[in-house]
């Protein structure tokens, strides 16, 4: 009997080739747009010189500003994720907790959040692990190497592409489709070859996008380093450059000489420029300006000194730009380096951070939908046929940390009052979260509570058994007041 083996085709269909071309073009455009954003975040971007007040040969100092990093980090630091919550009974919650731990998703989430805040878009891919990897592998993908084609009706990507690089050399690609993943490798001559077709039949692309500030008219999200913030950063850099040049010119007091001849200091007009510069440095570090003696005027040689210009105007201008950035980013002005003599109180801090806290909560709401989609893909990967219990999945929630500044005393006082008013039970997980405990602390408290309950039951059973084995006291009846 002859058995026919179904081998995966190593050729792309016309539809697959068309999708791959669209994704490659889209990724190239996204990578070009992300270059400046990541450079500003990393502090590598150099602002363009206006060529007005700064000489071209001094514009190469390369002044850099870290305001872009500050704008992103103060928001990213408030978007903390403690995994998924499952309000029902069963093993789904344990399965998701295991995936969260095995893939170190608390760290992976931070990286994806940073990408989304910087570039406006981040990605997470879900797949099956190989030897030495978790059974379900969840990884963050860079927006410079991953992209997707959005389906507005399904609210997820209908196709996605992830590229793999060895340094700057493209070595492979993964084309994600709703029912299969096509893996391509590049040879030394730059040709792409299909090496695998993973048919998973999930019915959805195992890549999830995380769009920052998504709008109906802008599904690819928006960077936190907005065009106005970029301008303020560039203006700050040019101001710093002017202050730097001002410092170089006025580090030593600039002097002048009236009625003197430069030749008296060995400086002539016919000597090379480099020699004149060297002689000038010898003449009081190039701080001596010469006004030659005029035969028509009776001016005696004399020496004076110009008053150095303070950097105060530059600092005030930088302060103004920093205030505009703080306003545009919704962050307290103290985060931009402004200090006050009197430190703010706890209520003042909450008031200053109220807008930042709401911005972080808004981002959590947007990213929460994406993390629920990741949870769905994880459960589908663990299922034999790719199906999940929709009723159980509806009870899954994303456990975000409180984005406000933690105040343990206030949280504890509020929790005690809620428990005292019998609004919350004393040993509920919700009560522990209100008190500020992390998920790890809550699990340890639950384990300790169960252990204490078991010890209490064992102790009560031992006491009851001991009481049952002891002889009961004998009767002391008497006859006429005498013992029988």
Residue 129 pLDDT grade (very low, low, confident, very high; cuts 50, 70, 90): confident
Q: 433 in helix, strand or coil?
A: helix
Higher-confidence residue of 322 and 60: namely 322
**Which whole number is the average pLDDT over 261-270?**
68
Residue 200 sits at the vertex; the CA angle it makes with 175 and 7, to the nearest 5 degrees, is: 80
At 59 the three-state DSSP class reads helix
- Is 154 a residue whose pLDDT tops 80? yes
pLDDT exceeds cutoff 90 at 244: no
Q: pLDDT category, 6, cuts 50, 70, 90?
A: very low
- Please tell me the predicted confidence (pLDDT) of residue 270: 76
Q: What is the pLDDT of residue 4?
A: 42
- What tens digit of pLDDT does each residue of 404-427 get? 876 666 666 667 777 777 667 777
Which residue would you say has higher pLDDT here, 456 or 365?
365
Q: How far apart are CA 304 and CA 288, in angstroms?
A: 9
Q: Which of 182-191, 414-423, 427-436, 465-474 has the lowest mean pLDDT?
A: 465-474
- The better pLDDT of the pair 257, 131 is held by 131
- For 285-320, the pLDDT digits (tens) are 444 555 555 556 555 566 666 666 778 888 999 999
Edge-to-edge strand list for the sheet holding 146-151: 146-151, 156-166, 169-176, 180-186, 192-199
Confidence of residue 7 (pLDDT cuts 50, 70, 90): very low
What is the per-residue pLDDT for 304? Answer: 62
Q: Report in angstroms the alpha-carbon separations of 77 from 95, 397, 435, 466.
A: 27, 21, 20, 58
How much is the average pLDDT of 4-29?
81
**Rg (alpha carbons) of the chain, rounded to whole number:** 36
Please choose, from the candidates 171, 181, 83, 170, the residue with its C-alpha nearest in 3D space to the C-alpha of residue 127: 181
Return the higher-pLDDT residue of 117 and 387: 117
Q: Where are the domains of the chain?
A: 13-152+214-250+314-405, 254-307, 409-458
Put simply, whether the predicted model's pTM sits higher than 0.85 gets the answer: no
What is the per-residue pLDDT across 451-470, written as a single tens digit (0 to 9) for each?
767 667 667 666 766 777 76
Q: What is the pLDDT of residues 190-215, one digit of tens each?
A: 788 888 888 889 999 999 999 999 98
Where are the alpha helices (H) located in 43-155, listed in sequence order?
A: 67-76, 92-102, 105-119
The DSSP code for 60 is: G
pLDDT for 94: 86
Confidence of residue 78 (pLDDT cuts 50, 70, 90): very high
Residues 324-346 have pLDDT tens digits of 999 999 998 888 887 766 666 66
Q: Give the torsion sign (CA, 457, 463, 467, 468).
A: positive
Q: What is the mean pLDDT of residues 234-258?
A: 76
Q: Which runs of consecutive H residues, i.e. helices, occur in 270-389?
A: 273-282, 312-329, 346-352, 354-382
Higher per-residue pLDDT: 417 or 34: 34
Q: Which of 170-174, 382-386, 425-429 has the highest mean pLDDT?
A: 170-174
- Specify the 3-state DSSP secondary structure of 214: coil
Average pLDDT of the chain to the nearest whole number:
81
**Is residue 224 scored above 50 in pLDDT?**
yes
Percent of the chain whose pLDDT exceeds 70: 73
């Amino acid at each position: 009997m002859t058995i026919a083996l179904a081998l995966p085709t190593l050729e792309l269909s016309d539809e697959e080739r068309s999708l791959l071309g669209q994704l490659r073009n889209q990724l190239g455009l996204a990578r070009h747009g992300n270059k400046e954003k990541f450079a500003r975040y990393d502090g590598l971007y150099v602002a363009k010189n206006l060529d007005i007040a700064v000489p071209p040969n001094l514009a190469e100092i390369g002044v850099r500003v870290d305001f872009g990093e500050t704008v992103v980090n103060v928001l990213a630091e408030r978007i903390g994720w403690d995994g998924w919550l499952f309000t029902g009974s069963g093993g789904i919650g344990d399965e998701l907790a295991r995936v969260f731990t095995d893939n170190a998703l608390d760290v992976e989430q931070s990286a994806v959040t940073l990408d989304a805040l910087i570039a406006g878009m981040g990605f997470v891919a879900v797949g099956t692990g190989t030897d030495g990897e978790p059974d379900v592998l969840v990884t963050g993908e860079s927006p410079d190497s991953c992209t997707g084609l959005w389906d507005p009706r399904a609210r997820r990507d209908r196709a996605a592409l992830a590229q793999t690089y060895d340094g700057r050399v493209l070595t492979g690609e993964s084309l994600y489709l709703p029912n299969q993943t096509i893996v391509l490798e590049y040879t030394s001559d730059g040709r792409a070859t299909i090496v695998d077709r993973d048919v998973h039949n999930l019915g959805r692309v195992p890549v999830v996008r995380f769009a920052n500030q998504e709008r109906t008219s802008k599904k690819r999200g928006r960077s936190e380093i907005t065009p106005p913030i970029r301008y303020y950063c560039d203006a700050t850099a040019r101001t710093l450059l002017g202050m730097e040049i001002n410092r170089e010119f006025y580090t030593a007091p600039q002097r002048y000489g009236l009625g003197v001849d430069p030749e008296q200091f060995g400086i002539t007009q016919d000597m090379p420029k480099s020699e004149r510069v060297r002689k000038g440095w010898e003449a009081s570090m190039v701080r001596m300006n010469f006004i030659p003696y005029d035969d028509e005027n009776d001016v005696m040689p004399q020496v004076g000194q110009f008053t150095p210009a303070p950097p105060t105007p530059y600092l005030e201008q930088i302060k103004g730009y920093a205030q505009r950035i703080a306003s545009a980013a919704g962050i307290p002005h103290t985060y931009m380096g402004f200090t006050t003599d009197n430190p703010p109180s706890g209520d003042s801090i909450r008031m200053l951070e109220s807008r930042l806290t709401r911005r972080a909560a808004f981002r959590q709401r947007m990213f929460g939908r994406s993390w629920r989609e990741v949870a769905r893909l994880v459960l589908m990967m663990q299922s034999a046929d790719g199906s999940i219990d929709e009723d159980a999945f509806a009870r899954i929630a994303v456990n975000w940390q409180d984005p406000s500044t933690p105040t343990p005393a206030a949280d504890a006082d509020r929790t005690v009052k809620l428990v005292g008013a019998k609004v919350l039970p004393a040993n509920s997980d919700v009560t522990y979260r209100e008190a500020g405990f992390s998920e790890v602390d809550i699990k340890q408290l639950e384990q300790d509570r169960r252990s204490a309950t078991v010890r209490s039951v064992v102790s009560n059973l031992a006491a009851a058994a001991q009481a049952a084995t002891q002889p009961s006291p004998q009767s002391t009846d008497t006859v006429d007041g005498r013992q029988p």
